[in-house]
């Protein structure tokens, strides 16, 4: 089974992954070595801090072995993905890839005989969503209003799917023309209808999203590989998470950011460093949620 996004799993699958993640967080140093004698390759087209370290530790602490494959160390781009997938399938038990193009992941998965895991693409970031949901579950539970402000990017796309699977009421506020991917919106609405819980509202009003929000989430306005000029960035300024924005939300709201952050753009220092911020708990949970995913897959 591949894990390219959250559009191919059911609610019970996601809840199982989160339950595993909770277990591994509680028993980090003494849990079972369920990946013993298994080896993985992790491909990096894009730089990484949390993804690199969290996957390395998740596999190592679970008894497995990880080989880091930087794009300048392998024949990425000089060899067909079909050949690469088939060769890696003979060596490894799984492929983890952080890439620019989601189509590359799809082609790897098409020819791979072992699971392919999306560690970030231009369309989706499902491993981040697993950590986000684990964090929200720990602090707030899922009977909440989640407000996402900023660019409807890969993080937003996967978060929409994750929220719809667990029954969260999610509001996405973006400037006009920067809404999330229509496929993810439609798939999320299907989930909401299927499970009879949660809701999804897409708006261009940050005030509508922030009103009585329990969780506020933002991400960078310019993702890696993306380009926006100063004329475009001015449209995002009303979507900044600052103290005025917090006044619209519930008093006990929490603030999330997947990091890295551009302080002073999408979020101010006084908010990201405040007691409402759970960004470091969120970052830590990448490790535990990814262990949960690996346990689910293996």
Question: 102, 125, 257, 288: which is the annotated catalytic residue?
Answer: 125
Mean pLDDT, rounded, for 78-104:
94
The Cα 202–Cα 93 span in angstroms is: 39
| Most confident of the following: 134-138, 219-223, 226-230 | 134-138
Closest by alpha carbon to 38, among 2, 3, 65, 61? 65
Per the DSSP assignment, residues forming a β-bridge with 76 are 79
Domains of the chain, first to last: 6-125+286-297 (3.40.50.1370), 128-283 (3.40.50.1370)
Question: 184, 286, 288, 290: which is the annotated catalytic residue?
Answer: 286
> Is 28 annotated in the active site?
no
Task: Note the pLDDT tens digit of each residue in 214-226.
Answer: 999 999 998 756 7
- DSSP 3-state assignment of 110? helix
191 pLDDT above the threshold of 70: yes
pLDDT attached to residue 100: 93
Question: 127, 156, 253, 258: which is the annotated catalytic residue?
Answer: 258
> Is 156 annotated in the active site?
no
pLDDT attached to residue 169: 98
> Is 125 annotated in the active site?
yes
H/E run at residue 172: strand 169-173
104 pLDDT above the threshold of 80: yes
The Cα 100–Cα 33 span in angstroms is: 32
H/E run at residue 159: helix 154-166
pLDDT attached to residue 212: 98
Question: 219, 253, 257, 290: which is the annotated catalytic residue?
Answer: 219
> What percent of the chain is modeled with pLDDT above 90?
91
Question: 127, 128, 132, 288: which is the annotated catalytic residue?
Answer: 128
Cβ–Cβ < 8 Å for 276, 246: yes
Mean pLDDT, rounded, for 274-288:
98
pLDDT attached to residue 55: 98
Mean pLDDT, rounded, for 112-126:
98
Q: Which residues contact 58 (CB under 8 A, 6 or more apart)?
A: 287, 290, 291, 294
Measured on CA atoms in the order 229, 234, 235, 239, is the torsion positive or negative?
positive
Task: Note the pLDDT tens digit of each residue in 78-89.
Answer: 789 999 999 999
75 pLDDT above the threshold of 80: no
> Is 128 annotated in the active site?
yes
Mean pLDDT, rounded, for 97-119:
97
94 pLDDT above the threshold of 80: yes
Task: Give the chain's end-to-end CA distance (angstroms, integer).
Answer: 9
Give the CA dihedral 163, 164, 169, 174, nearest 10 degrees: 70
> Is 90 annotated in the active site?
no
23 pLDDT above the threshold of 90: yes
The Cα 182–Cα 172 span in angstroms is: 13
Task: Note the pLDDT tens digit of each residue in 55-72.
Answer: 999 999 999 999 998 777
Mean pLDDT over the full length of the chain: 95
pLDDT attached to residue 47: 82
Task: Note the pLDDT tens digit of each residue in 233-251.
Answer: 899 999 999 999 999 999 9
The Cα 269–Cα 233 span in angstroms is: 19
Question: 98, 184, 257, 288: which is the annotated catalytic residue?
Answer: 98
> Is 281 annotated in the active site?
no
């Amino acid at each position: 089974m591949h894990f390219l996004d959250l559009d191919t799993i059911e609610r019970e699958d996601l809840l199982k992954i989160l339950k595993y993640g909770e277990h591994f967080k509680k028993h980090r140093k003494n849990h079972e070595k369920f990946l013993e004698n298994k080896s993985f390759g992790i491909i990096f087209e894009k730089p990484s801090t949390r993804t690199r370290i969290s996957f390395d530790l998740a596999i190592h602490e679970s008894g497995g072995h990880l080989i880091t494959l930087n794009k300048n160390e392998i024949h990425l781009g000089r060899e067909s993905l079909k050949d690469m997938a088939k060769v890696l399938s003979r060596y490894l038990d799984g492929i983890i890839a952080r890439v620019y193009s989601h189509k590359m992941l799809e082609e790897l998965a098409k020819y791979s005989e072992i699971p392919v895991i999306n560690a970030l693409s231009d369309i989706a970031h499902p491993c981040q969503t697993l950590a986000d949901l684990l964090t929200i579950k720990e602090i707030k539970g899922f009977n909440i209003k989640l407000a996402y402000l900023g660019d409807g990017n890969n993080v937003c796309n996967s978060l929409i799917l994750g929220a719809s699977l667990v029954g969260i009421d999610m509001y996405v506020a973006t400037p006009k023309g920067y809404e999330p991917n229509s496929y993810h919106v439609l798939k999320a609405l299907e989930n909401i209808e299927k499970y009879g819980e949660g809701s999804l509202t897409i708006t261009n009003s940050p005030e509508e999203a922030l009103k009585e929000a329990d969780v506020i989430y933002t991400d960078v306005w310019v993702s890696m590989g993306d380009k926006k000029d100063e004329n475009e960035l001015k449209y995002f300024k009303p979507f900044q998470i600052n103290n005025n924005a917090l006044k619209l939300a519930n008093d006990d709201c929490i603030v999330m950011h997947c990091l890295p952050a551009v302080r002073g753009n999408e979020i101010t220092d006084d908010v990201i460093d405040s007691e409402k911020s759970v960004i470091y708990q969120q970052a830590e949970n990448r490790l535990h949620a990814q262990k949960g995913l690996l346990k689910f897959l293996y």
